[in-house]
Amino acid sequence: MLERVFHIFTLYKEYVVLSCCIILSLTLLTTNDSPQIKRIRSVVSVGFGIVQEYVSFVPQYFSLRSENALLRRKNIALADEANRLREAKLENYRLRRMLEFKERATFPMKAAFVVSKDLLLLRNTITINVGYNDGIREQMPVVNEDGLVGLVTHVSANYALVTILLNTSLRVSGKIQRSRVDGIIQWDGSVLLFENVPRTRDVQVGDVIVTSGYSQFFVPNIRIGVVRELGDQPGSLFKKIVVTPAVDFVKLEEVFVILGHANEEQLNLESSVRGVLSQTRSK
């Protein structure tokens, strides 16, 4: 019997092998999700993974160039995005501070962006992107959240030129916030000075200087700067006081124009009195 089976097997061995292989394949097909199959799969995958690791350099080599180009493009895009995010963060920070400042302020203001600036001349100015059409007029003070920036001196339809503190032609009446000592703030071309303060007056390094309120154009108590150096001028009755401006003009990007502060009545009175005085003197 066994011999006969063996004989049949040898006679039809091709078909026997084929049947066995097909049965095995079909069994595998039907038991795709069985844990044993999964186990075999994972073991063989690990083995081949090791081999593939050594061979995988070939496709990597071919794709390296395009991958490199892609990564470079991505790198540029990401750097650009990071830069824009950083810029947005800083802008957000500045605008928040400006917003807080605007909410605190008791006078109407118009926000503006600095579109150009000169900081290396004796008469430095900045140009802002608001003008006559926005209600801006000459002699309006310009500030930011740190303090006084300057005064509007020229206005066009959509732009205005601001004479900043670092300009030899601008003089601002100020006072020491702590001791209420008055003086005049003026740029001498290299440093900002607080002038006309007698040697006997109480001024100390670190004192904050604010606008005095005596000016026709500037509202009182706007921060101008901080006393940095004190000194005596030989043969003079006045102190030499060097001031660090409150505003960092190098970083200046956004400002506020204080609208409609100039007191018309005060201006008229003062000009008329000056007229009478000059007439009296001439007589």
Residues in the site for another protein, rule: CB under 8 A? 13-14, 17-18, 21-22, 24-30, 32, 37, 40-41, 44-45, 48, 51-52, 55-56, 58-59, 62
Phi and psi angles of residue 65, each rounded to the nearest 5 degrees, phi first:
-65, -50
If one counts every other C-beta atom within 10 angstroms of the C-beta of residue 142, the result is 27
- Interhelix angle 57-104/35-55, rounded to 10 degrees, is 90
Residues 6+ apart with CB under 8 A from 51: none
CB of 73 to another protein, least distance (A): 22
| CB nearer to another protein: pick between 7 and 41 | 41
CB of 32 to another protein, least distance (A): 5
| CB nearer to another protein: pick between 47 and 275 | 47
CB of 48 to another protein, least distance (A): 6
| CB nearer to another protein: pick between 51 and 250 | 51
* SS3 of the chain: helix, strand, coil, percent, to 5: 40, 30, 30
Would you say 147 and 185 are in contact if contact means Cβ atoms under 8 Å apart?
A: no
CB of 79 to another protein, least distance (A): 31
Rounded Cα distance between 61 and 47, Å, is: 23
CB of 45 to another protein, least distance (A): 6
| CB nearer to another protein: pick between 29 and 120 | 29
Half-sphere exposure of 12 (CA within 13 A, CB side): 9
If one counts every other C-beta atom within 10 angstroms of the C-beta of residue 239, the result is 22
CB of 60 to another protein, least distance (A): 10
Query: Dihedral, CA atoms, 186, 189, 192, 195, nearest 10 degrees?
Result: -40
| CB nearer to another protein: pick between 27 and 179 | 27
CB of 15 to another protein, least distance (A): 9
| CB nearer to another protein: pick between 19 and 278 | 19
| CB nearer to another protein: pick between 49 and 213 | 49
Query: Residue 195 belongs to what H/E stretch?
Result: strand 192-195
Rounded Cα distance between 36 and 42, Å, is: 10
* Total count of residues recorded for the chain: 283
